Chain A
Amino acid sequence: MERSEAELIAAVLKGDSASFEPLVAKYSPRVFATARRYARRDSEIEDIVQEVWLKAFDKLKTFRAEAPFEHWLMRLAVRTCYDFLRGHQRNRESSFSEISEPEEDWLERFVADPGSAAEDADAARLLIGRVLEKLSPSARLVIQLLEIEDRSVKEIAEITGWSVPLVKVRAFRARGEMRKILSRITQDKYL
Chain B
Amino acid sequence: MNLAELQEKLIAAARLNPPDDRVPYAFEKRITALIAARSAADRWLFWTRGLWRAAASCVAVAVVCGAVSFFVPATADNSKDLSQDFENTLLASVDQADVAP
The smallest beta-carbon distance between B72 and chain A, in angstroms, is 50
Please provide the chain A residues from 22 to 39 with a CB less than 8 Å away from any CB of chain B in the complex: 22, 24-25, 28-30, 32-34, 36-37
Known: A32-B22, A36-B20. A17 touches B7 (CB 8 A): no
Quick one: given A32-B21, A32-B22, A33-B20, are A20 and B32 in contact (CB under 8 Å)? yes
Q: DSSP majority for the B interface?
A: helix
Per the bound structure, the CA–CA distance linking A182 and B5 in Å amounts to 11
A186 partner, pick from B1, B13, B22, B27, beta carbons under 8 A: B1
Determine which of B9, B21, B34 lies in contact with A33 in the assembled complex, contact meaning CB atoms within 8 Å: B21
With A28-B27, A46-B24 given, is the CB distance from A119 to B12 under 8 Å? yes
> B1-41 CB contact bits vs A (8 Å, 1 = yes)?
11111110111111111111111100111111011101100
What are 10 sample pairs from A and B whose C-beta atoms fall under 8 A apart?
A17-B39, A18-B32, A20-B35, A36-B20, A37-B19, A54-B38, A117-B9, A119-B13, A131-B10, A175-B7
Question: Known: A24-B28, A30-B21. Contact between A120 and B16, CB under 8 A?
Answer: yes
Complex-state Cα separation, A143 to B99, whole angstroms: 109
> Could you tell me the dominant secondary structure of chain A's interface residues?
helix
- Please give the number of chain B residues whose Cβ is less than 8 angstroms from any Cβ of chain A in the complex: 34
CB-based contact A114/B5 at 8 Å: yes
Q: Choose, from A68-76, A88-96, A121-129, A163-171, the stretch at the interface.
A: A121-129
Query: Are A24 and B14 in contact, CB atoms less than 8 angstroms apart?
Result: no
Contact A114 B2 (CB under 8 A): yes
Closest B residue to A120 using CB positions: B16
Question: Nearest Cβ distance between residue A9 and chain B, in whole angstroms?
Answer: 14
Provided the pairs A17-B35, A21-B28 are in contact, do residues A29 and B1 lie with their beta carbons within 8 angstroms?
no
Given contacts A29-B23, A32-B21, A36-B19, A124 and B32 within 8 Å (CB-CB): no
Asked if A54 and B35 sit within 8 Å, CB to CB, the answer is yes
> Cβ of B19: which chain A residues have Cβ within 8 Å of it?
33-34, 36-37
A147 in contact (CB, < 8 A)? yes
How many residue pairs at the A-B interface have CB separations less than 8 Å?
103
Q: How far is the CA of A18 from the CA of B36 in the complex (A)?
A: 9
Chain A residues with Cβ under 8 A from B17's Cβ? Answer: 120, 125
Most B CB within 10 A of own CB, among A54, A111, A147? A147
Tell me if A61 counts as interface (CB < 8 A to partner B). no
A110-B9 contact given A54-B35, A120-B16, A186-B1, CB 8 Å threshold: yes
- A54–B3 alpha-carbon span in the complex (Å): 42
Chain A residues with Cβ below 8 Å from B24 are 46
